[in-house]
Structure 1
Amino acid sequence: MADGVSASEERSSGEDLFTRAHAPYLVVVFLSEWLIASNSLVTATILPSVGASFSAYQWFGWVSAAFAVGIVTAAALSGVSAERLGLAKAMTFASALFAVGCMVAASANGIGVFIAGRAMQGLGAGWLGGLGYVVAAVCLPGRHLSRIFAISAGIWGIATIAGPLFGGIFADAGFWPGVFVFFAAQAAVLALLSACLFGTEAESAGAKSEASIRALIPVVAGIVAIASAGVVAGVAAAIVLALSGLVALALAVRLDQRARTGLLPADLSRSLAGAGYVAYGATSAAGVAFSLYTPTILVTQYGLSAVEAGYVGVSDAVAWTIAAFVVSRADEARRTTILIAGSVAIAVGVILQAVVIGHGPLVAIVLAGAVMGAGFGSARPVLGERLIRSLDAASRARGSGAITVMQSVGTALGAAVAGIAANAGDFESVGDRALTFAQGFGLFASTFPFALVGIVAVVRFARLCHR
């Protein structure tokens, strides 16, 4: 591995992780994780209130698209910003941007301003998410990466449960802007902590590179096209946009790999890191339909309230959290098997969801989500730990930040494909009549090919780890 730390040392006692020297970095990493995760799903329970306020239900898709574009754009530059600004300044600016975006959304007098606020939140979230990986990779002991990833997964699971709850509380109180004020206050605290807690050793996250940002233009164009594909009305137009977005992203990777120092580590096509990034993106795409469409189906087909539907829909997050903690204590001999089994569980969960959604009992939907969540919780800690450890010192900041980029690109691509399937299956009509088996299966199975790609990428990643 890149840092020369053995796998057995990696899972040593955590006593020397929770020290005064490491505390500032741990606080910032975990608070960033909490802020991003809890905010990302808050719109699940407030969008009906937002739509009523602005008479803009037809713009819901663009709310998510703007957030996704912001995340990918900022995450792509997170590693470079850490190198050039230093972690303290980069984290402070990212937190402040997130807070401003929250206040813009809270004070919006129309859907356009609200979408702009969500885009700014996406920029802040993407920046924070990428920087969180950089902090973990650069400032904390490599032997504890597995434990850090497990704790982060636990925080993510708790936060994704809490986010819809906070949104539901403010929505039921008739004051949905309050939830964004609530998140703005937390982001302001994170900005203050970032400015005060980091020491001088974190002024630079590595040697300052001259990373080319030419690749960022097709990245932004590609993610805009892909995100738009999930919300346009025509199926043909959506397919054209999605394919155009993929071409733009492929061009971005090609330009970046040709650069002397790019936004991504070099030689991705043949490297362990390249397989790891594909695995992150593909599995993220595979699981997105569950979080996007399950709450709506539970409300329209099962008669649940928005908050109740939100909690059924986060069964995957609960299983993810439990699995991640279990995996963090597994010995090295079993971790490769767990990694591959986790990727298979994601695929199984996707198919189970396609079969039971809309027609099976609630417990079957919960179990299907839990199977997929357990797969993520099993695979992601091992995948993230080994990917970061494979990066050399020169590319560790940029390579760590790229994890968030690939997750976000995968999520946007999966949402676009699911959106195309939803439009083709006349999903908008489910509020007025029963969901047919063909509609439910077609919608949730549309992302299954990504799960298969994820399995292939994980198997390749595992093989390269043992070379």
Structure 2
Amino acid sequence: MNQSHPTLKRGFILVSIMLAMFLAAIEATIVSTAMPSIVADLGGFSLYSWVFSAYLLTNAATVLIFGRLADVFGRKPIFLLGISLFLIGSVICGFAGSMVVLICARLIQGLGAGALMPIASTIVGDIYTKEERSKIQGYLSSVWGISAVTGPALGGFFVDVLSWPFVFWMNIPLGFLAILGIMIFFKEDVAKEKVELDMKGSLWAFIAVSTLMVILVEGGVRIAWGTYLMLFLLFVLVISLVLFIRQEFKAHAPMMPFYIWKYPAIKYANLTSLTTGMILIGVSSYLPAFVQGVMGKSAIIAGFTLTTMSIGWPISSTIAGRLILSIGYRSTSILGGVSLIIGGALFSLLSPERGPWFAAVGSLFIGIGMGLTSTSFIVSVQNAVEWKTRGIATATMMFMRTIGSAVGAALLGGILNNRIDHLLDESSLSKKVTVDSANQLLTENGRKELGAQASHVLREGLTTGLHLIYIGILVLAAVSFLFILLLPRKET
């Protein structure tokens, strides 16, 4: 499989893959930068985290099934399906007139991303040799960094100069270029076989993840913790998890084959991907809200604080490819874990007085940590299995990162909403002002309309709530480091 593509064609395939991955990767930073303006325009601040959670929900629910489909039908058709769904979602996002429509469109985008990210890495694993893979996967990981560089800058530009729908419409021409590149240059011969898809497993996973996210985001805000509705949701969560695990053990072709977890390199890479996914969403989703809502800075300044994350990401991803060959993926991952802890510590000390530069330095170290670990994990996972299971093994790791991001978006969003709601109750403003009113903090005119007292209380809630989020990021960085230390010393 590795030798079936001439070097020139492999180059074009790689560029097309990186372009498609760029579309999915840039969504995290470009949408984050634009979100304060989007929510100021459409309203519904309490639904803020659902814009991210919806995208991550369908991504997480389908990434494993797409990985399985790619192992059966081939990488090409599933990859093209993913790009198409992503572009359809992007068009609808741009025309959204309310937060509800935007969230529904993000569900469609997430479906497409569920096919894009894991299959892109899998195609590279197919067409490049084991020796070449470390360097090439470094290029793929750097896409996240490049997207973080351009995402905030483009997001700030579109918001301040044009309008926020361009954040989504820019995907269209780039997506068509990626489709053409894959259709023309990527050829594969796949032996057709009867396929048994684990649709029950997919269904139970979707129900479990979506229920957990509703509990985390709405618990204590729209749904009180002690109500019958909350108890029902907890019951649904437990039952769906039990049924999912039972289904995966008895399914002939499970969407998540538990046997691959017997490899220590895969097990601990997956667990670390879960926690780093939560770190990534915590930084990219809420840092712009802090810079604009608490520090009172512009969208471009908010974008700058995220841009520095990418300065570390592509550089460290490229270096990681070389480090893996010289010191191994475990030592490379440890260096990444240390960088995550430094970044987490800086974020835990973040305050309005410290200014955007302090936040930017914290983002830089998070980016370095993500670049070193993500490249190391992909190489270690793909080297641990053979071609027939490489697609699902890669997808499983992506699934864990996406689940981490989905749960992180919901959990952190719930913490923020609860904190603001609590302070509103204490100040006796809850009848006049709601959590949704926090979107007015994100524009100068909105702050004037709120009045001094409401503006002060909401700003305090945003400040203290986000501080709790950043303490959580430090804790997650420490947990990630402990998982990394459990990676096997013997390289696969």
Q: Common fold, TM-score beyond 0.5?
A: yes
Aligned match of 1:234:
220
**Deviation sequence 1:302-326 (CA, Å, 0-9, x none):** 2320121112123222212222222
Task: Output the CA distance in 2 between the equivalents of 1:50 and 1:286.
Answer: 23
Report deviation, 1:253. Answer: 4.4
- Once residues 124 and 342 of structure 2 are traced to their aligned partners in structure 1, the CA distance between those partners, rounded to angstroms, is 31
Structure 1 residues 97-106 or 336-345, which shifts more?
Answer: 336-345
* In 2: Cα distance, 1:72 partner to 1:314 partner: 26
In the TM superposition, residue 264 of structure 1 has moved relative to its aligned partner by 2.8
Please give the alpha-carbon distance, in whole angstroms, between the structure 1 residues aligned to 2:281 and 2:133: 26
Identity of aligned pairs, percent?
Answer: 20
* Corresponding residue number in structure 1 for 2:487: 461
Residues 279 and 454, structure 1, Cα contact 8 Å, conserved in 2: yes
Deviations 1:88-117 (A, max 9, x none): 211221111111111122233443332221
Distance in structure 2 (CA, Å) of the matches to 1:104 and 1:316: 29
Residues 148-157 or 340-349, more deviating = 340-349
3-state SS in 1 of match to 2:486: helix
Q: Residues of 2 paired with 1:242 and 1:328: CA distance?
A: 43
Distance in 2 separating the partners of 1:243 and 1:381: 38
Residue type at the aligned position of 2:307: V
Structure 2 portions without partners, runs of 5+: 422-434, 442-454
Whole-Å Cα distance in 1 between the matches of residues 348 and 5 of structure 2?
42
* Distance apart, 1:438 and its partner CA: 5.4
**Structure 1 pair 426/138, CA: closer, same or farther in 2 (3 Å)?**
same
| Pairing partner for 1:100 from 73, 83, 88 | 88
SS in 1 for 2:354: coil
Q: How does 1:175-324 map to 2 (within 5 A)?
A: 175-201=163-189, 203=190, 210-232=196-218, 234=220, 237=225, 248-249=240-241, 252-272=244-264, 273-324=266-317
Larger mean Cα displacement after TM superposition, 118-127 or 240-249: 240-249
Are the equivalent residues in 1 in contact too, given 2:91–2:169 (CA < 8 A)?
Answer: yes
1:85 aligns with 2:79: no
Q: 1:189 to 1:466 in 2, by over 3 A?
A: closer
Deviation, structure 1 residue 174: 4.6
1:385 aligns with 2:379: yes
Residues 1:453 and 1:215: Cα distance change in structure 2 (over 3 Å): farther
Instruction: Name the CA distance, whole Å, in 2 between partners of 1:54 and 1:295.
Output: 17
Q: What is the alpha-carbon distance in structure 1 between the residues aligned to residue 487 and residue 240 of structure 2?
A: 25
Paired with 1:215 and 1:301, the residues of 2 have a C-alpha distance of 43
Q: Helix, strand or coil for the counterpart of 2:349?
A: helix
Q: Is the 8 A contact 2:92 2:105 kept in 1?
A: yes
Report the CA distance between 1:237 and its aligned residue: 4.2
Task: Tell me if structure 1 keeps the 8 A contact 2:86–2:110.
Answer: yes
Which residue of structure 2 lines up, in the alignment, with residue 9 of structure 1? none
For residue 35 of structure 2, what is the amino acid of its counterpart? L
Match of 1:326 among 299, 302, 319: 319
**Residue of structure 1 in register with 2:144 after alignment:** 156
SS at match of 2:256: coil
Q: SS of the counterpart of 1:42? A: helix
Residue type matched to 2:256 in 1? L
Offset of residue 250 of structure 1: 6.6
CA distance in 1, matches of 2:235, 2:300: 36
Q: For this pair of structures, how many residues does the alignment match? A: 451
1:354 paired residue number? 348
Give the CA RMSD over aligned residues: 3.2
In structure 1, the partner of 2:338 is 344
User: 1:221-245: CA deviations, max 9, x gaps?
Assistant: 1221233345326166499768975
TM-score normalised over the length of structure 1: 0.86
Please tell me whether the aligned partners of residues 34 and 299 of structure 2 are also in contact (alpha carbons under 8 angstroms).
Answer: no
How far apart in 2 are the matches of 1:442 and 1:193? Answer: 45
Aligned 8 A contact 2:148 2:310 in 1: yes
Q: CA deviation at 1:188?
A: 2.4
CA distance in 2, matches of 1:254, 1:320: 39
User: Which residue pairs with 2:103 in the alignment?
Assistant: 115
Q: Give the letter aligned to residue 485 of structure 2.
A: V
Shift of 1:121: 0.9
CA distance in 1, matches of 2:464, 2:41: 34
Give 1:269 deviation, angstroms.
4.5
**Matched-pair contact (CA < 8 Å) for 1:230–1:415:** no
The alpha-carbon deviation at position 296 of structure 1 amounts to 1.2
Offset at 1:62? 2.1
Distance 1:356 1:247, change over 3 A: farther
Gaps (5+ residues) in structure 1? Answer: 6-15
Cα pair distance change 1:128/1:382, threshold 3 Å: same
Q: 2:399 pairs with 405, 413, 416, which one?
A: 405
Q: How far does the alpha carbon of each residue in 1:280-304 deviate from its partner, in whole angstroms, 9 at most, with x for none?
A: 1122123432222211111133232
**TM-score, with structure 2 as normaliser:** 0.82
Task: Specify the alignment match of 1:32 in structure 2.
Answer: 20
Query: Mean alpha-carbon deviation: is it higher for 426-435 or for 437-446?
Result: 426-435
Shift of 1:369: 2.0
